[in-house]
Amino acid sequence: MPGKRQHQLIFDAVLLGVVGALGAQVFMWLLHWAQTIFLGFAQYHPPGLPEEGGVLKEIIGPHGLWYIPIITTIGGLISGLLVYSFAPEAEGHGTDTAVKAYHFAGGFIRARVSPLKAVASAITIGSGGAAGREGPTALISAGIGSIYATVFHRPEEERRLLVLMGMAAGLAAIFRSPVGTAFFAIEVLYAGMEFEAFALLYVMLASIVAYTINGLFVGFDPLFSVPAMGMPAFSDYFWYILLGLVAGVVASMLPSIFYYTRDAFHAIPIPPHIKPAIGGLLLGLMALALPQVLGGGYGWIQLAINGNLALSTMAILIFAKMFAMALTVSSGGSGGVFAPGLYVGAMLGGSMAAFFHLPTAAFVVVGMAAVFAGAARVPMATLLMVTEMTGGYHLLVAAALAVSISYILEVLLTSRLKYKSLYEAQVPGREDSPAHHGDYLKAAIHILKNHNITLSADEEHVDLERLLDTGVPIDLADDMQIRLTRLPDKSPMANQPVRELMNLLPDDLVTEVRVVAIIRDGHALVPYGDLIMKPGDRVLIIAPARAWERLQRFFLLDHAESTSASP
């Protein structure tokens, strides 16, 4: 990398680290005021983390919990109206939107998304929504990186990197985890064990700067307080293996519960603006019996670490929190899935410790890491983040064992399921990301030009270009097909950048449709996000067989016209 560019990126990392820390503080301030307004009206105060100025005590006012369904419904309604009226891409858990932007939109995130996400998420969580602050913070700070790239006209490759820097900075500040969040930003992009290694240096620098600046406001102690304990004994590792196995099963359930609930809400024939209110109402009714499911739940996690929750309560909360998170976020509410995922893992670890009379704090901490690492397909990042958030460095080896088992088991159990990870926008590996298709195309051209490649004598020769020109689809693996089609004048994609594809595609197709190349005037163009698609362009697309009819409806891609187009 040229020295001048490297110096510029180092400056970017430091700047975004400062801005990310300040942005996290603004979001926390908004969240505090939202909780004061909404939960204060209900006269309900859940336990809060002492490290954030909270008190580990649940306070229920004279009216009991009867106001809770009202405020969760109102919070969902306000959030839904804000998001779906002004920036629908800000709905849901935020991190997925940032991942989607990285892979499919050249890192472009509309400027209005960050402030809108901050307000909508503060209202959702502050009114009792069972969501976390990770997703909103990730999208808010990633959006700042995208805005910065737009203002200074940075190329697409750097825009993507700036988005990752911003994401890591915001998360490092809000979770006080500089190393773990840096790995999270480069690991969450892929469902397989892959990282954007080229970005690690700059992402790490941004997260360390953000952690340091944030520490000037709130200090440098870990979020959770873990009592002093010795290193696990040899015999303890049997129990950590068992915890990893159970965590893998629980982790495999989370994505299906989350996304099938979303599908159910999508099927309700009413405007999307109203659906978060329905989710809020159902959550509020659940909270009448189990108020522990409200909010992010960090105070309840700390109580579990301290051994102050009963076995029966923790066992119920494992599943109650899953459905509470789904009602809040899958309905279109704005909030993250990280805190609820940790919560489920904490209750699982606490239940196991109570049942087998094991050290409570250790198993709560390891359970937190094991469940989310599998459900979100981010084992390395979760291991580091939970260790930093709890200060439980002496549990690193035990947690690594449980995390590895949970991750491997979750991958095996979800291999035939529709939903495999809490982050739907993840792609399996680098070769599956449009962000790297240009690199692979250049490599392929280089190999073809500089090497004498011969095929086996018994391999049938197929003229791929002529076959594609007929409009006949070519079947690929996993029920995928490749087609070459022409972009008509009336297509919604005509004279639009490739990244606009993100806004037109339905959610269930965004991660499966790939624009491989755009052929214009006899030249194959790499479909980077800012490339303007023009009428008459021939577009090479890979998509599931079931998607082609819908693609034609959305984009007016006319296969008949493609047969008459010349190469």
Name 543's bridge partners.
481
Distance between CA 315 and CA 355 in Å, rounded? 10
Q: How confident is the model at residue 565 (pLDDT cuts 50, 70, 90)?
A: very low
Domain 461-562 of CATH type 3.30.70.1450: yes
Q: How confident is the model at residue 443 (pLDDT cuts 50, 70, 90)?
A: low
Q: At what angle do helices 311-325 and 338-356 cross, to 10 degrees?
A: 160
* The pLDDT of residue 562: 38
Following DSSP, what letter does each residue of 44-55 receive, concatenated?
EE----GGGT--
Over 70: is that where the pLDDT of 397 sits? yes
Mean pLDDT (whole number) for 232-259: 95
Over 70: is that where the pLDDT of 462 sits? no
316 in helix, strand or coil? helix
339 in helix, strand or coil? helix
Mean pLDDT (whole number) for 28-38: 94
- When mean pLDDT is compared across 405-414, 428-437, 520-529, the lowest value belongs to 520-529
Helix (H), strand (E) at residue 561: helix 559-562
Over 80: is that where the pLDDT of 445 sits? no
Contact yes or no for 222/50 (Cβ under 8 A):
no
Report the share of the chain in percent with pLDDT over 70: 87
Name 525's bridge partners.
518
- When mean pLDDT is compared across 10-14, 35-39, 441-445, the lowest value belongs to 441-445
Mean pLDDT (whole number) for 554-559: 56
Residue indicated by tokens 């040899």:
234
Q: Which residues of 124-146 are buried (b: 16+ CB within 10 A; e: fewer)?
A: bbbbbbbbbbbbbbbbbbbbbbb
Mean pLDDT (whole number) for 534-540: 83
* The pLDDT of residue 566: 35
pTM value > 0.85: no
Q: Enter the CATH code of domain 3-413.
A: 1.10.3080.10
Cα separations in angstroms, 306 against 338, 343, 395, 550: 21, 14, 16, 53
For the chain, where do the domains classified as CATH 1.10.3080.10 start and end? Answer: 3-413
Helix (H), strand (E) at residue 483: strand 480-486
* The pLDDT of residue 564: 36
Q: Nearest Cα to 397, choosing from 241, 221, 247?
A: 241
List, for residues 266-320, the tens digit of each pLDDT value: 999 999 999 999 999 999 999 999 999 999 999 999 999 999 999 999 999 999 9
List, for residues 401-413, the tens digit of each pLDDT value: 999 999 999 999 9
Assign 3-class secondary structure to 267-290: CCCCCCCCHHHHHHHHHHHHHCCC
For the chain, where do the domains classified as CATH 3.30.70.1450 start and end? Answer: 461-562
247 in helix, strand or coil? helix
Distance between CA 2 and CA 28 in Å, rounded? 38
Distance from CA of residue 518 to its chain's centroid? 29
Distance from CA of residue 318 to its chain's centroid? 21
Q: What are phi and psi of 333, to 5 degrees?
A: -65, 165
List, for residues 59-73, the tens digit of each pLDDT value: 998 888 999 999 999
Contact yes or no for 481/543 (Cβ under 8 A):
yes
Q: Nearest Cα to 544, choosing from 495, 483, 497, 486?
A: 483
Residues whose CB is less than 8 angstroms from the CB of residue 231 and which lie 6 or more positions away in sequence, other chains included: 394
Over 70: is that where the pLDDT of 231 sits? yes
Q: How confident is the model at residue 559 (pLDDT cuts 50, 70, 90)?
A: very low
- When mean pLDDT is compared across 196-205, 224-233, 414-423, the lowest value belongs to 224-233
In this structure, which amino acid lies at residue 168?
A
Q: Nearest Cα to 297, choosing from 370, 223, 239?
A: 223
Distance between CA 296 and CA 560 in Å, rounded? 53
Helix (H), strand (E) at residue 373: helix 360-375
